Amino acid sequence: MARLTGKVALVTGGARGIGAAITRQLGEEGAAVAFTYLASQRPAETLAKEIEAAGGQALAIRADSGAADQVKAAVTRTAQHFGRLDILVNNAGIELPGTIADYSVDDFDRMVEVNIKGVFVATQEAVRHMKDGGRIINIGSVSSDYMPIAGHAIYAMTKGAIASLTRGLARDLGSRGITVNNVQPGRIETDMIAAVLKAPGGDKIHEAIALKRFGKSEEAAGLVAYLAGPEAAFITGANLKVDGGVSA
């Protein structure tokens, strides 16, 4: 029996990149998986069909992670559709690069809305549905501790907030046995890293990785699946890097 059989998970931003790998992995582990997407309708539909074809259960929900009402509705719909909610993976995130001299307030607000407020809203709503012993797993970034190139200060700030929020929530929810952890991917092969590599100084990123390669989405997803499982019941408040030694 898969270790997550009987569990229900929600992955925000779960249709592409690391999010899709997480959605797929949790489904393979036996969980019924709901996931949100915004612009990636076709990849979302394809992923849901893939999970169902393998004998699993999937639900794709269109929701903007920067809109509080849509985030709340996605959590509620997941709990109502599957009858419960055991695992929340706050994966949705964006990066709008730019240096401080010309960074727009609109871009700043959007980054905060998706990368911080969306996590807060999803978590707050999820714990209203979770029984004791649930799992909350945030997807932060090694950028909160290590930023080798210019133009990503605001992104790093938002991911630093997630690291701090993780520690605080672990205290808030510990009495219920709900664990809260933060997976911090490094340079993973996704559309986001492709854009960063094209920016000035992007060529330095590969040089800084101890393992001399970029990571794969499945390598981050594997840690998420472990944290969602029974073996990780005594791990909470942790910020865990999956970065190939870039921050070593």
The single residue of 37, 103, 146, 155 carrying the catalytic annotation is 155
Residue with tokens 């499982």: 229
Please, are residues 239 and 140 in contact by the beta-carbon 8 Å criterion?
Answer: yes
155 is catalytic: yes
- Tell me the pairing of strands 8-11 and 239-242: unpaired
Q: Can you give 40-71 as a three-state secondary structure string? A: CHHHHHHHHHHHHHCCCCEEEEECCCCCHHHH
Active site residues: 155
